[in-house]
Amino acid sequence: MSPILLVITAVFILYLGYIFVTGKPNNTPPGIIRLPFWGSYWILLWGNYTYPYKTIAYYVEKYKSKIISCYLGNSFVVIVNDYDGVKEVLTRKEFDGRYVSDIMKIRAFGNKMGIFFNDAVEWHEQRRFALRNMRDFGFGRRHQEVENNFVEELTVMLDTIDNGPINNSEKSVVNGDLVYFPNILYPTCVNMIWSIMSGERFDRSEHDILRQFCIDASTFQAGGDTTGGASSMTSWLRHFGNIFYCKDLLNGYAGMINFLKQYIKQNKETMIAEDSPRGFISTYLHKLNKLQNNDELGYSMKQLLMVATDFSFPAGSAVPFAITQCIKQVMHYPEVMKKVQAEIDHVVGRGRVPKWDDRKDLPYTEATIREVMRIETPTPLSVPHRAIKNTKLFGYDIPVDTIILTNLAAMHNDPDTWGDPENFRPERFLNDQGQLGKDYSMPFGNGKRLCAGETFARFMVFGMFATLVQHYDFSFVDGEPMSLDDKIPGLTTQPRRAWIKLNPRQ
């Protein structure tokens, strides 16, 4: 081959390489360069290996644009980073699709199933059926029996803390005046969603079963990555041990599925024989029993397992994580703790636990919770959306099937919206009269894909946080991970488990 031909070949290869590294669809947002195999994910890892999504802030500043693009593997991705962009994406039907990675299909028996990681045709029917029927049992609306159950569960939790463990399982969460967070919260959180799912609750002697469910849920959450990550782009890595926590993600979900399988196997005949369903699971089984074709509109036993798990696992992971973050924040800001306690003492007193009706009269307590969920965004990039058709976003072209990431963490820390986002200041959620004002935060998303469990989660977080600060003062324990930076990355950011000293208030 002549020297000239070699030069031409080399230049052509370099040109193709340049096009690959910098290329993207026409008239799309400014983009991060990509490399072979994982695309721009290499760059995000280089910027922050533990929390790759935090690298995005550098490119937002570099390009002077609140909307940027990149490639995750072979998928073109657009990322919105401010209030206007996030709200636009979450409220437009063109972006209601859901990106479902191979790893999320594997956890769903190889298909698109369930609620969170699904946009197949039957998703609308499954979500509608689930919410309509779960509301009958107290999910997402006021329900006296559910609120009474919650008071009973809170009483059990307080008794466990005050009077100590009654079995070896409880010794793992209570040791004298030391209490292990978030694990102490697990039974209460799961028992409440389980009362809606099954119409019954586990008694205290069986709480170890609920703790295991929460451990599986936490393992699943930690096995993922808010950016999609290596497990999403290269699911075959699961065949090589636990690289990038692929095995953890799948094993955690399998543990939750097995919990439901065992319960349904033991109770299916009894639930179908009942004239009136006592929970969502029995309602679904009655529906299956009436259908001529179980696959009609996606109804099946596998779909039941997925839907029930998708509604249950956030209660066993994201909710106790959020409560623990609330406690850690007020421990670092004792002046906020004192204001919360003073408000609860004035409105509720000490003779009973705070109830949902008290929430409207405890604006500072609620503002503190909102501030925690702003500054400690549970799911930094939310769950990926997908453009269901060619469209435009702030003048940019968005091709069909583009993945859209809503950077809730960036939006919640944007000075243009919050002024001083780096400061922990619950007062930002209050008006001049000390009442709750407009809430610009979106920890649960917005629009049609709004987290279906938002009302339930807020009910749980408010009730448990208010009850704990009503009853106790909290102290750090030497050697325990109590820094606000002590967190575990994943689909949902979770605080590291820690022993905290609880002193009954005088």
Q: What is the pLDDT of residue 274?
A: 86
Task: List the domain boundaries for the chain.
Answer: 123-381+421-504
Please choose, from the candidates 58, 103, 76, the residue with its C-alpha nearest in 3D space to the C-alpha of residue 398.
76
Q: What angle do CA 55, 60, 61 make, to 5 degrees?
A: 100
Report the distance separating Cα 129 and Cα 135, nearest Å.
10
Q: Report whether 460 contacts 189 (CB < 8 A).
A: yes
pLDDT in tens, 186-236: 999 999 999 999 999 999 999 999 999 999 999 998 887 655 577 777 777
What pTM was estimated for this model as a whole? 0.93
Does the 123-381+421-504 domain belong in CATH 1.10.630.10?
yes
Beta strands in 205-258 (DSSP E): none
Mode of pairing for the β-strands spanning 403-406 and 75-80 = parallel
Q: What is the pLDDT of residue 228?
A: 57
Task: State the chain's mean pLDDT as an integer.
Answer: 91
Least confident of 105-114, 200-209, 418-427: 105-114
Report the distance separating Cα 383 and Cα 385, nearest Å.
7
Beta bridge partner(s), residue 31? 69
Please report where in the chains the tokens 């004792």 appear, as a residue. Answer: 334
Please choose, from the candidates 73, 71, 86, 81, the residue with its C-alpha nearest in 3D space to the C-alpha of residue 25.
71
Q: Report whether 375 contacts 347 (CB < 8 A).
A: no
Report the distance separating Cα 352 and Cα 488, nearest Å.
35
> Do the annotations mark residue 246 as ligand-binding?
no
Q: In the structure encoding, which two tokens stand for residue 324, read together?
A: 């623990």
Report the distance separating Cα 187 and Cα 92, nearest Å.
38
Report the distance separating Cα 132 and Cα 124, nearest Å.
12
Which three-class secondary structure state does DSSP give residue 63?
helix
Q: Report whether 198 contacts 274 (CB < 8 A).
A: no
Percent of the chain with pLDDT over 70: 98
Please report, for residues 39, 44, 81, 424, 497, the alpha-carbon distance to residue 57 in angstroms, rounded to integers and kept in the order given.
18, 10, 8, 20, 28
Mode of pairing for the β-strands spanning 472-475 and 498-504 = antiparallel
* 356-383 CB burial, b ≥16 within 10 A, e <16: eebbeebbbbbbbbbbbbbbbbbbbbbb
Residue 292 pLDDT grade (very low, low, confident, very high; cuts 50, 70, 90): low
Mode of pairing for the β-strands spanning 178-181 and 396-398 = unpaired
Q: Report whether 99 contacts 385 (CB < 8 A).
A: yes
Half-sphere exposure of 387 (CA within 13 A, CB side): 19
- Provide the sign of the torsion angle of the four alpha carbons 123, 125, 130, 132, taken in this order: positive
Q: In the structure encoding, which two tokens stand for residue 417, read together?
A: 């919206």
- Residue 339 makes CB contacts below 8 A (sequence gap 6+) with 364
Q: What is the pLDDT of residue 296?
A: 63
Q: What is the pLDDT of residue 472?
A: 97
Q: Which residue has the higher pLDDT, 119 or 154?
A: 154
Q: In the structure encoding, which two tokens stand for residue 208, read together?
A: 């170890």
What secondary structure does DSSP assign to 317-383, as a single string? THHHHHHHHHHHHHHH-HHHHHHHHHHHHHHT-SSS---GGGGGG-HHHHHHHHHHHHHT-SSTT-S
Is residue 70 exposed (0-12), middle (13-18) or buried (19+ Cβ within 10 Å)? buried
Q: Report whether 313 contacts 220 (CB < 8 A).
A: yes
Mean pLDDT of 142-159: 93
Which three-class secondary structure state does DSSP give residue 421?
coil
Please choose, from the candidates 87, 139, 114, the residue with its C-alpha nearest in 3D space to the C-alpha of residue 448.
87
Mean pLDDT of 406-426: 96
Max CA pair span of the chain: 93
Phi and psi at 249, nearest 5°, equal -60, -50
pLDDT in tens, 78-106: 999 999 999 999 999 999 888 888 888 88
Query: Between the CA atoms of 392, 394, 397 and 403, what dihedral angle is there, to the nearest 10 degrees?
Result: -80
Half-sphere exposure of 340 (CA within 13 A, CB side): 30
pLDDT in tens, 244-277: 778 888 899 999 999 999 999 999 999 888 888 8
pLDDT in tens, 328-361: 999 999 999 999 999 999 999 999 999 999 999 9
